[in-house]
Structure 1
Amino acid sequence: MGIAKSLLRLLRDERGGLALWAGLTAPVLVGFGALSVDVARMYNLDADLQTAADSLARAGAIELDRRSDSITRSTAAINNLVINEQQLGDAGGGQVQIASLRFLKALPISDDTPITAGYVTTDPKEARYVEVNVAPTAITTVFPPNLVRGLVRSQLTAQAVGGRKSGMCGAAPLFICNPYEGSGQSLQVALEDRAVRGRLVQLRGKGGGSAYGPGNFGFLEPPGGRGANELRDMMGQVSPDTCYDAEGVILRSGQISSVSQGLNTRFDMYDGSFGGKKDDPAYAPARNVTKGYTYTGNNACNASPEADTSKALGLPRDACFSSGNCPNMGGRMGDGNWDVVSYMRVNHRRPATATISGITYTFNYAAGTVSPLPRPTRYEVYRWEIDNNRIPGEYNPTGSGPNTQEKGGPRCFSGTIPAGPDRRIIPVAVLNCQALEAQYGLNGNSNPPLPAIGFAKVFLTEPMGSGSDDIIWGELVGMLQKGVDPWSTDQVEVRR
């Protein structure tokens, strides 16, 4: 009886059924667990490699400013400035290695179009993008590969293309045609030469013959399409509400002579509707406003050009503008031959030598010569005056000879000059006007947004005059630089 009951209980006992199911499902669960570990490892390794490619492309792209050493600097930045590591490769953790670099002058319109050899360049003035390919990294799976053949990769790699996107904000709405278009030399490279930077340029000429194209005299359309009065106001503001993208700017037609009232606030001149802004920091002048003007009495706001240049002398123009034979930009750009000797005679009492921008110049006043050549640029002399407390009329020079009767510091403005960018530096968009004319026709503001090759800094050498002197004169100083110039909004974009 006891034996029969024991057998019956054994037959009815279902507690071992779980072990059966566990035995059947355990391999599957373990396999899926191993697969999930593999997927996570591969995903994280792929993310590490792609992050490395992205950061390397960004580091290289920011150096692509079309200067003569841009590719060299970009390559050095990629190889030396950024270190990226991965931890999941078969060889263990370590630095992600670079397999190859290619510099590109353009990209296909579609992301799905391959980047062929036709897009590749070795010319630093053409390089706009850099393609980074990181070295493949091996990873061995835990899950048996033969069960998921074709789904698990053993080598992972990544690629990224970085490009520099230029822009400027808080700048007056001005553009200039690229004076080196078609020369085989980029403007960025040309401006590395002091002799080029010292050439005076008419940013805005006078009369119909000085237009860049029919109706275009060097102005950009203010954001929102605001009128001539707003454009005039922006020319004088320390930080106008403007932003421009190199991908496309809109030209503004018309000469708009009233812009002189706004522009000239930078020279401590407050005419017309700007008469009430003599104490407004938003319209402050530069620290050095030397311009060859004098005034009588105590009213510095009534200053006017001094006819006797032995008493006061602004920064002289290139001699070729007087003779009418300036060789560049159809006569709109000079040759850099300006009378620095007379300027030093009148404004600084005949110094025998002066160290300007790291170069010691010797002045021969009897012969009217300076050595070495090329002579310093006007901007370099202007900065030498500020940096060495030698603003004309603001210090007590020693020596013999005439002394300027001009007060080179602001006298009309009664407010506080804010810290910030130099008011006699004005950023401008630079356009390849010949190519744009051939493609669109530069006719007023009827064009689509036009691409700019970049944004340059111009030093304003003198105020805008009236009549035949209703011209904006300046020297090209260099291109805007991210992290250096407050107007620059350069960004780096990465494409995978």
Structure 2
Amino acid sequence: MTFVSKFKKEEDGTILIFVALCLAMILGFAALTFDLGRMASTQTDLQSYADHVALAAAGELDGNADAITRARTAAENMIADRQFFADGDQTLDSAADFSLRFLTGLPDPAVDPDDDDAVDGFLTNDASAAIMVEVQATPRTVFLPFARGLATLLGAAVPNEQVGATAIAGYTGFACDVTPLMFCIPGGWTANANVGQAIQLRTGGNDSAWGPGNFGFLDPQDIGINPNGPCAGLNGSSLYICLIAAEGNLTKCVSQRGVDTEPGQRNGIGSAIYNSRFDLFLATMNSLRNDPAYAPGPQVIAGWENSTGQCLKNNPTISDDTMPFPRDDCFDAGNCATLVPEGAGRFGDGDWDDGRAAYLATNYGTGTDPLNPLQPHPLIADGTISLPTGNTRYQMYLDEITKFAGRDILEGRSETGRRQCASTTNPDPDRRTFIAAAIDCDANPVVGRAVDVPVQEFVKVFLIQPLEQTSGTDFDIYVEVVEQVGGAGVGIDEGIFRDVVRLYR
């Protein structure tokens, strides 16, 4: 009894009890932290992988027919990563590691401020409509031994050991500082498949549906005017004149996913607006001939009489010893609609062999017609310069500029091929090109004004001849297709094209 009584009163070593209890708790928390850390690390690995797969796939969603196919290929082949703590293979690099769903958009932020609503109502398999992709990383199991042991000790349910991740990314193409023009194309038409094709663009009105070959404007208020460009501060007809005729930083950026269109017929916008690129400052353009923002390009062969070396007046005379680049031969033969039926007679077939021969004979005297002898170009006749060549009109145009650098292009003719009216020359050969939005107006009905119309692609076109002088607002523009610009893998010319790929969730 004496020993028991002493033991009950003994206080030495009491702290060991508290240390043992605290140590058990600390070790328990450490064990749980170990489990949770492995789970968090795995979730981070999967989230990073899902984010990168989403960005890779979204970068292919340009609206073309094979966009979804390319997006799946990019997702499978472009991204490789690793996870370290989940069961199974550590490598993340195949289609077995994720699943894809394509979306037309996301819930309205006003309705879903937390950005977490389901996206099932936005699913699509239409490549032209898919603008986003959802990536779900294949869930992985992370073995949690300490959490399992604690659950068993407490008689609780085994914790969820599944870890996953979801990411949503989207793609938008933007075009900046481009001419705010659009034209209608046949279904399935692409620029790169029709390089060298001549197109007759005709102003589209506001009362009937537009078809292939109609052209109009992009709403500048929708695009926005570059505050540092030549058109800043202008409005009304003056703004449109500047946007069409001037060079430089014209507009802000417009999304390829949806543009607002306007009719090609507008008061104050006539054929003379386009002709300043040929050194032709007629009608409303006369006061701008000394403005460097409107300077013509380095080759301005127009086919109009100008032997005086002065500015042409209204209603100029057609030259009999010079000619501009011709249209495709089928336009003169009247059978373009037969050769290119989908083009409604306004799209040529790219064959200008007869026109090429006439162009060289008229401008450089290479013809052999004794009834129409034209003086040969002296530098070509004596072999100093070879005859301009090119499969397309644009290529021949560039060859002319290169070969005749520092001198007149034409000699012994009623025009020199160089400016004779404006006070300065724009040395950029692309002064005679536009970058216009190509729109499938059958798939996306356009009747003059339309809102949020998707752009099939942006196309660089070459102005092959000046516009005929008309008193109204209905006129034709003849252009040649140079190339697609701004698309995936396509080089950038004038203007700035930006492919913006970003994570949304």
TM-score after normalising by structure 1: 0.70
8 Å CA contact 2:326, 2:359 repeated in 1: yes
Aligned length: 439
Q: Secondary structure at the match of 1:175?
A: strand
8 Å CA contact 2:439, 2:454 repeated in 1: yes
8 Å CA contact 1:221, 1:252 repeated in 2: yes
Q: In the TM superposition, what whole-angstrom CA distance separates every residue of 1:243-302 from its partner, at most 9, and x where no partner exists?
A: 322333222236125254443333333345544544544334334333334522343666
Q: Distance in 2 between matches of 1:283 and 1:248?
A: 29
Q: Secondary structure at the match of 2:458?
A: strand
Match of 1:314 among 311, 324, 331: 324
Q: Distance in 1 between matches of 2:287 and 2:436?
A: 27
Residue 26 of structure 1: aligned partner: 23
Q: Distance in 1 between matches of 2:398 and 2:96?
A: 46
Residue 269 of structure 2: aligned partner: 258
8 Å CA contact 1:35, 1:142 repeated in 2: no
Q: Percent identity?
A: 30
Residue 470 of structure 1: aligned partner: 475
Q: Distance in 2 between matches of 1:347 and 1:16?
A: 114
Q: Distance in 2 between matches of 1:378 and 1:298?
A: 26
Q: Secondary structure at the match of 2:434?
A: strand
Residue 429 of structure 1: aligned partner: 437
Match of 2:346 among 332, 345, 351: 332
Q: Distance in 2 between matches of 1:66 and 1:39?
A: 42
Q: Distance in 1 between matches of 2:287 and 2:85?
A: 68
Residue 228 of structure 2: aligned partner: none
Q: Which runs of 5+ in 1 are unaligned?
A: 181-185, 352-374, 397-401
Q: Secondary structure at the match of 1:484?
A: coil
Q: Secondary structure at the match of 1:223?
A: helix
Residue 52 of structure 1: aligned partner: 49
Residue 187 of structure 1: aligned partner: 189
User: Structure 2 matches for 1:284-295, cutoff 5 A?
Assistant: 284-295=295-306
Deviation at 1:304, TM superposition (A): 8.4
Match of 1:283 among 282, 290, 294: 294
The AA in structure 1 aligned to 2:55 is: R
Deviation at 1:174, TM superposition (A): 1.6
Match of 1:249 among 259, 278, 282: 259
Residue 380 in structure 1 maps to residue 389 in structure 2: no
Residue 233 of structure 1: aligned partner: 242
Q: Distance in 2 between matches of 1:102 and 1:263?
A: 51
Q: Distance in 2 between matches of 1:115 and 1:443?
A: 30
Q: Which runs of 5+ in 2 are unaligned?
A: 108-116, 152-156, 225-234, 368-389
8 Å CA contact 1:102, 1:120 repeated in 2: no
Deviation at 1:443, TM superposition (A): 4.2
Q: In the TM superposition, what whole-angstrom CA distance separates every residue of 1:54-90 from its partner, at most 9, and x where no partner exists?
A: 3233334334446687667656654555544555556
8 Å CA contact 2:35, 2:146 repeated in 1: yes
Alpha-carbon spacing, 1:434–1:25, altered in 2? closer, same or farther (3 Å): same
Q: Secondary structure at the match of 1:244?
A: strand
The AA in structure 1 aligned to 2:221 is: P
TM-score after normalising by structure 2: 0.69
8 Å CA contact 1:98, 1:132 repeated in 2: no
Q: Secondary structure at the match of 2:462?
A: strand
Q: Distance in 1 between matches of 2:269 and 2:68?
A: 44
Q: Distance in 2 between matches of 1:209 and 1:322?
A: 29
Deviation at 1:377, TM superposition (A): 3.0
Q: Distance in 2 between matches of 1:347 and 1:136?
A: 72
The AA in structure 2 aligned to 1:378 is: R
8 Å CA contact 1:480, 1:487 repeated in 2: no
Q: Distance in 2 between matches of 1:274 and 1:217?
A: 21
Deviation at 1:457, TM superposition (A): 2.5
User: Structure 2 matches for 1:15-414, cutoff 5 A?
Assistant: 18-65=15-62, 77-78=74-75, 81-86=78-83, 96-99=93-96, 107=104, 110=107, 112-114=118-120, 119-120=124-125, 134=137, 139-141=142-144, 143-147=146-150, 149=157, 151-154=159-162, 156-160=163-167, 162-180=169-187, 186-188=188-190, 191-193=191-193, 196-205=194-203, 212=210, 218-223=216-221, 226-237=235-246, 238-253=248-263, 255-256=265-266, 258-272=269-283, 274-299=285-310, 307-309=318-320, 311-327=321-337, 328-338=342-352, 339-347=355-363, 350=366, 376-386=391-401, 388-389=402-403, 394=408, 406-414=415-423
Deviation at 1:222, TM superposition (A): 1.4
8 Å CA contact 1:200, 1:475 repeated in 2: yes
Deviation at 1:329, TM superposition (A): 3.3
8 Å CA contact 1:278, 1:414 repeated in 2: yes
TM-align CA RMSD: 4.5
The AA in structure 2 aligned to 1:319 is: D
Alpha-carbon spacing, 1:35–1:270, altered in 2? closer, same or farther (3 Å): farther
Q: Secondary structure at the match of 1:264?
A: helix
